[in-house]
Structure formats: structure tokens, C-alpha cells
Amino acid sequence: MSKKPTTKKEVQTTGHSWDGIEELNTPLPRWWLWTFYACIVWGIAYSIAMPAWPIFASGATPGLLGSSTRANVEKEIERFSAMNKAVEDKLVATELTEIGNDPELVAYTTNAGGAVFRTWCAQCHGSGAGGNKGFPSLIDDDWLFGGTIEQIYLDVQHGIRDPLDPDTNYAAGMPAHLDDGLLESAQIDEVVQYVRQISGQDADAEMAAAGSEIFAEWCVACHGEDAKGMQDLGAPNLTDAIWLYGGDVETLTTTIRHGRAGVMPSWSYGTTEGTSRLSEVQIRAVSAYVHSLGGGE
């Protein structure tokens, strides 16, 4: 050591001076420069190893390591499918009525069935399953075809009046009484008043009395003598507070004049031969989910 260590760092300037104000030169640390170079090298290596450079109309360079986020997602989905395999097998093997007693299956159907519902069913029945005009609520105690889990399962499986599925529920539906010449317009008005009367709404008593006879002749075959409907035929109860299309005079008149025949797709049949819209697991899961929303019988 020839020279004693300097304790005071020499302050360097760049030599630039403006109005007597000098620009200090405080050099960056050299490792910082190396880090910078290392980042450049890393960047080049990364763009070779990983998908990086866009190629017109055909994605990007695949990279030497063959990494792909799409493949990663597929792998993740596969991994989760494998994790769900056991519970899904159990779901298929379990009696429909027993699903609600198994906490593991309840957890699965609540989540997976809920996902199926929100994807495929919510468009018509609403995200909360509350229904819309013409699309029944699934959370009340009034069911067109029945609210047991077996019936729900059957309806999801084969749909209502789906021409693609030979096993679909071909309930005849409400005839168009005016269009088909079954009833006169005036008779229909009387029946409307009668239906309003038995459902506890304001009605013209005289017209209703006349309507009751027409009802007994034309309507009881499907809606029953007591007008409480028949689930085998999908004929609704006319005495309760729930209306699929509406209980007001105008809507009732339209319904009786022109008829009604709502449809629901068959979920075990696809639009082409041999395919299915939903798997057996999905159909069971969504059936259990719907059954657990409060309306299930």
C-alpha cells in the first residue's frame, strides 16, 4: 500500500457548466451495466426459447421449449377433470333422490350444476331461476310437469316438444280455440271471466257463470274438473296465483284464442345425430341444482 486510502471521494463533473452550475458526474455501478446486458441476453434467449415473434396470420414462433399457454390451460382442465373424476362417477352411480343426502355430491352439484345452469339455462329461466313470461320459474311450488328430481332430470334430458329427440315430452299443448274454430270469440270472453273468477281475481259473475259451462265442456279434459291442472299433460293449475303467460284478461284471451306450446331443448340430444349437448354428469348435476333451489318436491 503505497498510498493511504482516500476517505474523500473525488467529486467529478462532466465539465458542463451553465451559469456557474456544474453537472456532476456520478457514475452508475458497473454491476448495473452488467445487469442491463444480462437482461438483453435474457430477452434474446427468451424470445428464442418461448413463443415470441408474430407470424402473419399464423400465430407466432413456437419457441424451442414448446411452451403454450393454451396447452397449459388444457392441461389444467385435464388435471381438474381427473380430480373430479371420482365424484362424477359417484354422481352417475347414485340414485337421483339420494344425491341430496351426500354432502360431497351436494357441494359438487351446487357448483358444477350451478355453472351448467348459468351457461345453458339462465337465458330463458333467468340467472336466479325465477323464470320469465313463457318460461317457468323453477323456484316456486308450481310445476307444469312436476318438481321431483326424477321429473326435472327427465325434462332436462329430453326437453319439451324438441323435434330432434324422439323421447321428448310431446304434451299436446294448449289448442288455438279461435284459430281452429273450436270456440267463438264471445265464448272465449266468458271462459276468460270464469278463469279469473276461480283464480280469485275480479270477474264478471254473469259471464263467468256462462263460462263455467264452456269450461266444463272444453277445458276439464286437460285442466281437470277442479281446474287445478294435470302434470302428466303439462296443463297448469288455473286456480293459483302463478301464471306462466299472465292472468290478466288480455293475456288469457290471447292464450285461449291462439293456444300455447312452450318448448325446451333436449339436452341429451345434439343438433346432429349421435351428439349430446350436455353430458350425463352435467344433466344430473344441473337437475340436482335446480331441485335444490327451493321449488324441488
Partner 1 sequence: MSSTEPTDDAPLYEAREPIFPKRISGKFRNLKWILMALMLGIYYITPWIRWDRGPALPDQAVLLDLANRRFFFFGLEIWPHEFYFVAGLLIMAGLGLFLFTSALGRVWCGYACPQTVWTDLFILVERWVEGDRNNRIRLHRQKWNAEKIRKNLTKWTLWLLIGLATGGAWVFYFTDAPTLLGDLFTGDASPIAYTTIAVATATTFAFGGFAREQMCIYACPWPRIQAAMMDEDTITIAYREWRGEPRGKLHKGQVPEGQGDCIDCQACFNVCPMGIDIRNGQQLECITCGLCIDACDEIMDRIGKPRGLVGYMALKDEASERAGNKVVNIWKHVLRPRTLVYFTLWAGFGIALVVALFLRSPLDFNVTPNRDPLYVMQGDGTIRNIYTMRIRNKHGEEVTYRISATTPDGEADPSLTLSLEGQEGDTVTVPADQLYNQRLYLEAAPQSDLATTKRTDIDIWVEQVGGEVPVRDSVGTVFNGKE
Near partner 1 in 276-295, by CB under 8 A: 292-295
Query: Least separation, in Å, of the C-beta of 164 and partner 1?
Result: 30
Query: Least separation, in Å, of the C-beta of 125 and partner 1?
Result: 11
Q: Work out whether 15 is an interface residue with partner 1 (CB under 8 A).
A: yes
Q: Which is nearer to partner 1, 1 or 57 (CB)?
A: 1
Query: Least separation, in Å, of the C-beta of 188 and partner 1?
Result: 25
In this structure, the chain runs to a length of 297
Query: Least separation, in Å, of the C-beta of 190 and partner 1?
Result: 25
In the list 14, 72, 81, 185, the residue contacting partner 1 (rule: CB under 8 A) is 14
Q: From residue 122, how far is each of 129, 137, 142 by CA, in Å? A: 7, 11, 19
Near partner 1 in 17-36, by CB under 8 A: 17, 22, 25, 27-33
Near partner 1 in 116-145, by CB under 8 A: 126-128, 130, 137, 139-142
Near partner 1 in 88-107, by CB under 8 A: 100, 106
Query: Least separation, in Å, of the C-beta of 51 and partner 1?
Result: 23
Size of the site for partner 1 (CB under 8 A): 42
Query: Least separation, in Å, of the C-beta of 229 and partner 1?
Result: 10
On whether the CB atoms of residues 181 and 264 are closer than 8 A, the answer is no
3-state secondary structure of 68: coil
Map residues 48-87 to x or -, x wherever contact with partner 1 holds by CB under 8 A.
----------------------------------------
C-alpha cell at 90: 359417484
**Nearest C-alpha neighbor of 226 from the set 241, 246, 240:** 240
On whether the CB atoms of residues 238 and 144 are closer than 8 A, the answer is no
Q: Which is nearer to partner 1, 12 or 61 (CB)?
A: 12
Residue carrying C-alpha cell 424470445? 47
C-alpha cell at 75: 392441461
On whether the CB atoms of residues 171 and 233 are closer than 8 A, the answer is yes
Query: Least separation, in Å, of the C-beta of 1 and partner 1?
Result: 7
Phi first, then psi: what are they for 172, rounded to 5°? -60, -35
Q: Which is nearer to partner 1, 170 or 243 (CB)?
A: 243
Q: Helix 69-93 vs helix 280-291: angle between axes, to the nearest 10 degrees?
A: 70
Q: Could you please report the per-residue DSSP string of 84-133?
A: HHHHHHHHHHS-GGGGGG-HHHHHHIIIIIHHHIIIIIHHHH-TTS--BT
Q: Work out whether 224 is an interface residue with partner 1 (CB under 8 A).
A: no
C-alpha cell at 216: 266444463
C-alpha cell at 229: 291442472
In the list 46, 49, 241, 246, the residue contacting partner 1 (rule: CB under 8 A) is 241
Q: Which residues bind partner 1 (CB under 8 A)?
A: 1, 4-5, 7-8, 10-17, 22, 25, 27-33, 100, 106, 110, 126-128, 130, 137, 139-142, 237, 240-242, 292-295
